[in-house]
Amino acid sequence: MRILSIQSSVAYGHVGNSAATFPLQRLGHDVWPVLTVHFSNHTGYGSWRGPVFDAAVVADVIEGIADRGMLGTVDAVLTGYQGSPGVAEVVLDTVARVRALNPAAIYCCDPVMGDVDRGMFVLPGVPELIRDRVVPSADIVTPNAFELAFLAGVPVAAVGQMPGLLAAVERVRAAGPSTVLVTSVDGLGAEDEICMLAVDPTGAFLVRTPRLPIAVNGAGDVTAALFLAHLPDGIEVALGRVASSVHAILRRTLDAGAREIQLVQAQDEIAHPANEFAVTRIG
């Protein structure tokens, strides 16, 4: 695939495009990274340097790609953190232009807004914009459980049990996207497990992986990218491969005692996932 990836970037570490680009390339995909910020490091350190690009700058880079006559060759648009309403508008315009030129192109949106521990961490108004306009335009969305609850308009507790989780997914799917991957789902397995749920018109599938004692930045960006990459082989296959590769990345990071996810060190597990975790059809 040719993937236009509109995300943040860091010089040191792996988040946004700095997390998504290498795994996609390692799997043989052509990635065109468009940067929304370029920081020295991710914001999890508490301090960083570098510019936030104005939405007009992001749009200008995309216009330059259009000048080369290449927008119509894009197979997929991938987005993560959208730091401002202006960038979200650029994303929506770009997706519309790509689809007009290539109706087969798909849009995969990781609706980065917040999580259970931190709440919302984007600018006021951005969550509503993502919910009301960005997500309905997507073919694939990859929220965590906290983000899913917001998108579906239900309490977070409601997605901690299977009936509420499935109902929330269906509410999001009814808004537009046909495929939903929910990450970081608690309460569906043992205490030492974490789950992912994937749903599309073919059914609903669940995978459980061991919970690792680690908290890092960028794992969600990698997850969305890998899911997009593997989805052409079917949602069940994609879910199993993603679970295997992401767990391997986190395991290597934990074993190394590292602050940054060990993408390069785990490249073989990205390219050749072991598929050691069972994927169960639940609907």
Over residues 242-267, the mean pLDDT reads 97
User: In terms of Cα–Cα distance, which of 137, 116, 133 is closest to 125?
Assistant: 133
Q: In the chain, what are the domain boundaries?
A: 2-281
pLDDT digits (tens, 9 = 90+) for 197-225: 999 999 999 999 999 999 999 999 999 99
Bigger pLDDT: 282 or 123?
A: 282
pLDDT score, position 193 = 93
Report the top-level CATH class of 2-281.
alpha beta
Name the average pLDDT for the chain.
95
Q: How many C-alpha atoms does 216 have within 13 Å on its Cβ side?
A: 30
| Chain segment 20-51, per-residue pLDDT in tens | 999 999 999 999 999 999 999 999 999 999 99
pLDDT category of residue 262 using cuts at 50, 70 and 90: very high
How confident is the model at residue 118, as a pLDDT? Answer: 81
Residue 194: its pLDDT value, please? 93
Q: Is the pLDDT of residue 8 over 90?
A: yes
Per the DSSP assignment, residues forming a β-bridge with 144 are 183
pLDDT at 186: 87
pLDDT tens for 102-149 read 999 999 999 999 888 787 888 888 899 999 999 999 999 999 999 999
Tokens for 67?
């000048």
The set of residues, in sequence order, having a beta carbon less than 8 Å from that of 123 and lying 6+ positions away, is 83, 84, 85
